[in-house]
Structure 1
Amino acid sequence: MSDQRPAALMAQGSVIGSEDEINLTDLFRNIWRQRGLVVGTTLFMLLAVLSFHFYKASFNVPRQVEYAVSLTFLDASGKYPNGTAFSPNDIISNSVVKATAETMSLSQPVDNINKALGVRFSNSLMEASEDKLSDLLTNPKTPADMRTSAEQVLTEMRLKGRTFLTVSLNLNDAGMTSVEGAEFLSQLVSVWAQRSIDRGLTNADIDRPMTPFVAPDSLNVIDAYDNAANYLNSLGKAVKRLASMSGAASMVVDGRTLEDVRREIKMLGDTDVGPLREFAYSTSAQLADQDAAIQVRLSSRQRLLNLEYDRLSKLIDSYDSALAQLNQSPVRDVARNGQSASQMGGAQFDQSFLDSLLELGNKLGGVEMRQELFERRTKAVEDRLNLEKEIAILKGSNGNTYKTLNPEVILREAMQGITTELNRLQQQLDAFVVAYRVQTLQSGGRLFVADSAPVVRGGSVQLGTRIGLHAALGIVLGGMLGMMLALLRAAMVSSRQKTA
């Protein structure tokens, strides 16, 4: 009996061992036969992962419409053409929003629309550079000189970018669709531009005489010619200001151009107003016999002109002194100080390179300062020359040259013709200003240019940041689970066949 049991156990073990052997060919054959189950399980796991991400996704992202425009009238002064200060909030002011809502017959409350609106200065071309400069300024390790340069460049870029605006509308807060929001923003900016034109904000900012010139008989002759000279000077400045505006120089009104009007103003001053005014001052002694107040006024004015002449002379001397000091370059002393400081601090830079940079910076700064001082000195010299002319006119002559003439009668008669010419020139200037306004409004006078149509921002589903990784893991796990199910199914089928 004892010999038979081990033999039976060994036979049974051999049978079990042969049954436990796995044939890889049969394994892959069974998986391939049930590939549909494997693929279906994989797709099921992928759909489960995607469903989870869509369930966790954020669908409540507020959508908004943005409208980028470029303001054609805005410059560094930040004002409308007529000189009124401009603010971006002018575009989304309550009156403009209400007028736009009435034009479009909107049912949404105006208060909700006001809360949904926003406007900001923006320029997509400069935003990246501005961000880099801002990061440079916020970095505590940035050197002081580099920080100063970055601040200056950033300020200049922001000034240049102030002509670009972006108007935005939150659609959820406004209760509008994307189509309604885009149409509303387009209409909003157009309404603001039209209201600005109607209010006269686009009128040319030209300081000019608005009333006709009058020289009453009660006014003494010298004051009358002083007023005529000032009036003529104002007309000349207004013509020069208008001619500097875009497209104004080529305008033709009543067969005349602005250059024709400028020549007539200059001719009137050189042939009539200037000489006759000098004649009035030259005969001031005779005129003072008829009006004693003339002599008092002349003496007081001459005193004031002499004081102004002395002030300008001292100012010119100070400019000359400053220019002389700038011509003496302090680069060597500064370089020595920089060298000693670098030696004490143990700087690791090449001293010659630092000296060259320092010298270049001093030269550039000196050039800018010298140019500014020279321009101020030139203006002061011109003002002093004009004062010298006025003082010479006030001194007049000895009075014997025109003793046989009656200056009062001559000057009064000539003033009538001068008054007529001044008023004619003033009317011509008004006609040019009106024509320029019409031209500005009809062609090239739009306050803005749309960079593009209104763009809808947001509104898309925000999924998880690792959805790709999770989807890949779902595919792998689904494939493995599918193969396991396929093998289990094959084993169960095989077991049933053996039992049968």
Structure 2
Amino acid sequence: MDFNQVKNQLDYASAVPLPRAEDEIALSDLLRIIWSGRALIVLIPLLAMAATALAIGALSLRIDEPTVYFVELRGIENSRYPNGTAFSPRDLVAPAILEELRRRYNIPDDTNLRDGITVTFGHPATIGLHRLYEEKLAVSNLSPAEITSINEEYRTQLKSVTESALRIEVNHQLLGLSPDDGAVIAQALPELWSQHFSENVRIFEDTRLSRVEITSSSEDLRTTASILNARQRLQIMDQGLALMSGDNRLALLQTSDGETIGDLRQALQRFRTVQFDPVMAAQFQADDFVGSAYIKSLQLKLGELRMKMASYDDALQELYKFQNSAVTVAAQSDSSFFQNSLQITDTGLSEIVELAKRANLSDFTRQMLEEKQKIGAEIAEIESELQKVIQDAKAASTPDFRDNAAETLASLTRSYSELVKGAKERLRTQAGKLYSSMGLPYTVGATFPKRAILAIILAGGFAALLTVIFVLARASLRAHRPA
């Protein structure tokens, strides 16, 4: 073997790496291979992240979703307006409101607003409420009774929360509008509803004020019929003034002349004592047909009330006797039970419980006593009325005296009507809006999802891992490929 052959063998041996154990991997070799494929490892994850962002954006920016707006109801309880009128979410899409919406924003007549706007009960907090009760039901070892109680509590709270707010949806695509226009319409709808129902439907007016409202009319107080009409008017005015004085919002109400509710109540009392009662007594002394019929009706009513009072007295007396006997029997049975606890049967125990229930009649007794007090008050009022019509009042029969009384009554009526009108106006203006905003309108899917960034990062990391595996596999295949 010459020198050149030996040199070639040594060069070949130095070029071929020495064999390693199968479980040994050189970190420097891996880093060298990864570094050689650094372009792919950087580029492919970036492309994956960009593709994920575009896909999420395409899903979240769908234009067929409606614009949603939540408002919280104010002054509406148990689906009732402040005046007791029934409330429904459909009130917001009443024809008058939609027509005003069309006029204000120049919406074409051929656009069907009724199909493009939906209003239902809804509250964003229902999602959190649902999760809360899911956690309660997830507790182990719950009995059927506990599960039923949790479900019933959930239904009650869900109904209460849901009906405290409204979900307004505007399908701007169906209406041929942009999302911004849909948001404007969603915000304007509850405003128009509150304004329309406050001014035109008058849902802030107290229905009790409407029942005590009277119209001005001239009463000459020269006939029995006119006097009875005036008496009825005075009763309504007393009720209305008592109602307004009991409301803190109306207690300081005044007429244009500075007359307060308290001033008018005192004036009515003076008018009754000094003018009206003498006129009424003088008229009934004339013994005409209407006056006689009225007195007879009062006497019959008085007799009926006294008979009812007597029946209540008898019922209360019997009830008192029954309570004493029932309690005594229950006490004796209870004592026998403790003395012979080993001999008493289930039937005997049930009888004792039933006697105890029957003996507990305090609520029923209280109701009967309250009814008796009401009857006593009616009897006293009728007796007072009879005393007024039979008193001697000859001076009040003169025409001048009656004319003066009629003028006073007309003046009192005008002052009372002014106070009622002012009370209605104050209730309407102080009530404010029927709703409060719970945020800005938004288009469902138009906002980027909160977890989109996390999804993009995960997509990039997964793509990087796959790229590294691909680079290592490609290097391995090249190393084993025959020269």
Pairwise same-fold verdict (TM > 0.5): yes
Stretch moving more, 121-130 or 34-43? 121-130
- State the secondary structure of the residue aligned to 1:110: coil
Deviation, structure 1 residue 153 = 8.9
AA at the equivalent of 1:103: R
Deviations 1:41-60 (A, max 9, x none): 46526744874796597454
Stretch moving more, 94-103 or 123-132? 123-132
Of 78, 81, 89, the residue aligned with 2:80 is 78
AA at the equivalent of 2:302: L
Of 469, 472, 481, the residue aligned with 1:480 is 469
- State the secondary structure of the residue aligned to 2:188: helix
The 5 A counterparts of 1:279-318 are: 279=281, 284=284, 286-288=285-287, 291-311=288-308, 314=311
What TM-score comes out, normalization by structure 2 length? 0.69
Would you say 1:417 and 2:404 are equivalent positions?
yes
CA 1:488–1:150 in structure 2 vs 1: closer, same or farther (change >3 Å)?
closer
- 2-structure distance, mates of 1:313, 1:488: 114
- State the secondary structure of the residue aligned to 1:165: strand
CA 1:134–1:477 in structure 2 vs 1: closer, same or farther (change >3 Å)?
closer
Would you say 1:21 and 2:25 are equivalent positions?
no
Deviations 1:342-381 (A, max 9, x none): x99xxxxxxxxxxxxx9xxx9xxx89x83x9746743551
Residue in 1 that maps onto 2:262: 259
- 1-structure distance, mates of 2:123, 2:273: 51
CA 1:118–1:134 in structure 2 vs 1: closer, same or farther (change >3 Å)?
farther
Contact 1:74 1:80 in 2 (8 A): yes
Residue in 2 that maps onto 1:44: 44
CA 1:98–1:490 in structure 2 vs 1: closer, same or farther (change >3 Å)?
farther
- State the secondary structure of the residue aligned to 1:173: coil
Deviation, structure 1 residue 322 = 7.2
Deviations 1:395-417 (A, max 9, x none): 789x7x84xx647715x655433
Residue in 2 that maps onto 1:434: 421
Contact 1:130 1:154 in 2 (8 A): no
Deviations 1:381-433 (A, max 9, x none): 13432223314643789x7x84xx647715x6554334333332322233233
Unpaired segments of 5 or more residues in structure 2? 1-8, 347-352
Stretch moving more, 48-57 or 68-77? 48-57
CA 1:388–1:124 in structure 2 vs 1: closer, same or farther (change >3 Å)?
same
- State the secondary structure of the residue aligned to 1:69: strand
Deviations 1:443-481 (A, max 9, x none): 553333334333444335779998876665433222211
AA at the equivalent of 1:175: G
- State the secondary structure of the residue aligned to 2:286: helix
Deviations 1:311-354 (A, max 9, x none): 35545765787799899889998xx9xx99xx99xxxxxxxxxx
Contact 1:204 1:433 in 2 (8 A): no
Of 208, 214, 219, the residue aligned with 2:212 is 208
Contact 1:306 1:391 in 2 (8 A): no
- 2-structure distance, mates of 1:322, 1:156: 42
Residue in 1 that maps onto 2:114: 114
Of 225, 231, 248, the residue aligned with 2:233 is 231
Deviations 1:280-326 (A, max 9, x none): 5xx85x422xx245334422442133224433554576578779989
Contact 2:220 2:406 in 1 (8 A): no
Contact 1:97 1:110 in 2 (8 A): no
- State the secondary structure of the residue aligned to 2:173: helix
For the aligned residue pairs, the C-alpha RMSD in angstroms reads: 5.1
Deviation, structure 1 residue 103 = 0.6
Contact 2:80 2:87 in 1 (8 A): yes
AA at the equivalent of 2:474: L
The 5 A counterparts of 1:316-395 are: 370=363, 374=366, 377-378=369-370, 380-391=372-383, 393-394=385-386
Deviation, structure 1 residue 101 = 2.1
Contact 2:221 2:403 in 1 (8 A): no
Contact 1:298 1:394 in 2 (8 A): yes
- State the secondary structure of the residue aligned to 2:37: helix
- 1-structure distance, mates of 2:35, 2:146: 69
CA 1:117–1:253 in structure 2 vs 1: closer, same or farther (change >3 Å)?
same
CA 1:122–1:45 in structure 2 vs 1: closer, same or farther (change >3 Å)?
closer
Unpaired segments of 5 or more residues in structure 1? 1-10, 345-357
